[in-house]
Amino acid sequence: MTKIIGLTGGIGSGKTTIANYLASLAVPVYIADDAGKKVMQQLEIIEAIQEKFGTNIVVEHQLNRAKLAEIVFNNPDQLKTLNAIIHPAVKEDFKNWLKQHQDSPFVVYESAILFESGSYTDFDSIITVTAPVETRISRVLKRDDSNREQVMKRIHAQWTDEQRIAKSDLVVENVDINLAKVKIEEFLKILSINQ
């Protein structure tokens, strides 16, 4: 039976770096955010979002993602509404993806909102990636076209590291990537032994 490892961490923690490293070790990695973007292009999802958020959210049969983000990031109820449309579709997409990787001893499901979405209960193990807040902020400012205030808003919209750590099987501090890699490899060895 394939073991499913949840991989999460706050914005800027470096979880994508860890996900990429796991993929380089030939571990199948499912990126929930990419899947979310993919399902948001499906006609029935676009129509469901349009029904809830109005016709001006769609331009030439495509979602205006910037406008949608603006609405949901400032309104927890609207975010819940959007997630109620997206999450079931991503869950279904993951089920299909998992069938393609059923011969793997374990797979990784990477999501920034693993705990917030409640999907963490579906996994055999959970890895949380952490980094100091200032490191996270500077990483996001370098990669995104956002300001410090926007990054802080996004940090505060997510669970804290303390909340995530309390429910995790492994915590990887991603400041020194080489130390983080060693921790990941050790964890994979333990998982392999317990297969």
Summarize the confidence of residues 67-77 as an average pLDDT: 84
Residue 66: the pLDDT is: 83
Q: Is 12 annotated as a binding residue?
A: yes
Arithmetic mean of pLDDT, 133-146: 91
Those residues with Cβ within 8 angstroms of residue 84's Cβ, 6 or more apart along the chain or in another chain: none
Examine the pLDDT at 167 and tell me if it is beyond 70.
yes
The verdict on whether residue 13 carries a ligand-binding annotation is yes
pLDDT, residue 90, reads 93
**Does 14 carry a binding-site annotation?**
yes
The share of the chain scoring above pLDDT 90, in percent, equals 67
DSSP codes, 146-159: --HHHHHHHHHHSP
Residue 15 among known ligand-binding residues:
yes
The answer to whether residue 165 scores a pLDDT higher than 90 is: yes
Any known ligand binding at 16?
Answer: yes
| Confidence band, pLDDT 50/70/90 cuts, at residue 92 | very high
Rounded CA-CA distance 153/72 in Å is: 12
Q: Per residue in 100-138, pLDDT tens?
A: 999 999 999 999 889 988 888 889 999 999 999 999 999
Q: Where in the chain is the domain with CATH 3.40.50.300?
A: 1-28+105-195
E strand or H helix at 109, and its extent? strand 106-110
Please name which of 16, 50, 13 lies closest in space to residue 154, comparing C-alpha atoms: 13
Q: Measure the CA–CA gap between 17 and 175, rounded to whole angstroms.
A: 11
Give the lowest-confidence range in 21-25, 148-152, 162-166. Answer: 148-152
Q: Which residue has the higher pLDDT, 24 or 75?
A: 24
Taking only the tens place, the pLDDT of each residue in 16-57 is 999 999 999 999 999 999 999 999 999 999 999 999 998 888
* Domain 1-28+105-195, CATH homologous superfamily name and number: P-loop containing nucleotide triphosphate hydrolases (3.40.50.300)
